[in-house]
Amino acid sequence: MELPKKILEEIEDFCKLNEIKDKNKFILSILQTGFNVEKYGNAPWQLEVEKIIEKEIIKEVPVEKIVEVEKEVIKEIEKKVYITDDEKVKELTKELDHLRDRITIKEQEIINNASNMKSLNNDIEDKKKEITNLTLKLETVDKTLKDVPTIPLRDLYGDDGKGGYWGSNLKDKK
């Protein structure tokens, strides 16, 4: 990836000023830091700006005459320093782990419930088939019973049972 010329010049000046020898490594670390800020946000971080003022004294020495000329060059460098609250980071990490555990437990419960529901649905289907089979058998038995002729009731001696009882003392009923 190519960087714009202006940004590349600023990075080179910064590296020279801060005596950073490996410019590419520095660019990668800045890219990683920026990406992490974009990815995770600035939540547990506090930003503190530190200003470094450097003074440069230039002395010129002519051959004939020694004259000291002092020039004061003020360079202001703003440097972002991230200060973290380790206790807050640990607390948030524990909370994140706890929430991940709860999500895992809930996912397992959902899987178990789905399995139970599938088993219950299979049982319901089996019971429906059993009910259908029993209904068909009942209808068949009903048809068979309708087709069976009814036999009139007779008593022991072949009578239709409306008279007296043969073989008993009650002859007058006949």
**pLDDT tens digits, residue range 99-120?**
999 999 999 999 999 999 999 9
Q: 103 in a domain, yes or no?
A: yes
User: Which pLDDT score, from 0 to 100, does residue 3 have?
Assistant: 80
User: Which pLDDT score, from 0 to 100, does residue 44 have?
Assistant: 56
42/80 same-domain check = yes
Residue 9 has pLDDT above 60, yes or no: yes
Residue 174 has pLDDT above 50, yes or no: no
Cα separations (Å) of 66 from 16, 57, 60, 61, 63?
30, 16, 8, 5, 7
Candidate ranges 13-27, 60-74, 79-93, 155-169; pick with highest mean pLDDT? 13-27
Candidate ranges 78-82, 122-126, 167-171; pick with highest mean pLDDT? 122-126
Work out the pLDDT band at 84, boundaries 50, 70, 90: confident
Task: Say what the pTM is.
Answer: 0.33
**Alpha-carbon gap, residue 27 to 46, rounded angstroms:** 23
93/125 same-domain check = yes
102/139 same-domain check = yes
Q: 156 in a domain, yes or no?
A: no
24/73 same-domain check = yes
Q: 155 in a domain, yes or no?
A: no
44/100 same-domain check = no
Residue where the block lists tokens 């670390």: 29
Q: 33 in a domain, yes or no?
A: yes
The one-letter amino acid at 96: L
Domain span holding position 43:
5-60+67-84
71/102 same-domain check = no
Q: What is the DSSP pairing of strand 45-56 with strand 73-84?
A: antiparallel
94/80 same-domain check = no
Phi and psi, residue 21, nearest 5°:
-85, -40
37/54 same-domain check = yes
Residue 171 has pLDDT above 80, yes or no: no
17/74 same-domain check = yes
CB of 76 within 8 A of CB of 51? Answer: yes
User: Which pLDDT score, from 0 to 100, does residue 24 have?
Assistant: 87
79/9 same-domain check = yes
| Number of folded domains that form the chain | 2
